[in-house]
Amino acid sequence: MARQRTRRSKEYQAPAPASAAERARSRRSQVRPVAETKAQTGQKRERDGGSRRFVAESVAELKKVDWPGQRQLVSATVVVLIAIFVVGLFLYVSDEAFSRLVRDVLLR
């Protein structure tokens, strides 16, 4: 069954658009500044330590990394070298073709 639209009565009045001041007031009420900065774990963030703490935490994170073994490293290196060779060959062939096209056809 199709639903029919009903017409608005003549007494209907659309709501007035909000003024700029009302829009700004509503935005300010939505934004709540954070009182204290917190870490991702929810703990309070400490401001001391500086660069020494940064280096210590970086070393701790690097110890957690699962470093690749020699076999995985060699195979990844071979894949990269083959990709570099293929792209280099493509660029060389394209450069030669376009330079001959320009030299023989356009600059004839």
Tell me which residue range forms the domain holding 101. Answer: 80-108
Structural domain contains residue 21: no
pLDDT of residue 35: 62
Is residue 70 within 8 A of residue 64, CB to CB? The reply is no
Percent of the chain with pLDDT over 90: 44
Give the other-Cβ count within 10 Å of 77's Cβ. Answer: 10
Q: Please report whether residue 3 resides in a domain.
A: no
Tokens 């330079």 belong to residue: 99
Whether 90 is covered by a domain: the verdict is yes
| Largest Cα–Cα separation, the chain | 81
For the chain, the domain total comes to: 1
pLDDT at 70 over 90: yes
**pTM for this one?**
0.43
Under a CB-based contact definition with an 8 Å cutoff, are residues 62 and 54 in contact?
Answer: no
Whether residue 36 lies inside any domain: the answer is no
Cα distance between residue 81 and residue 98, in whole Å: 26
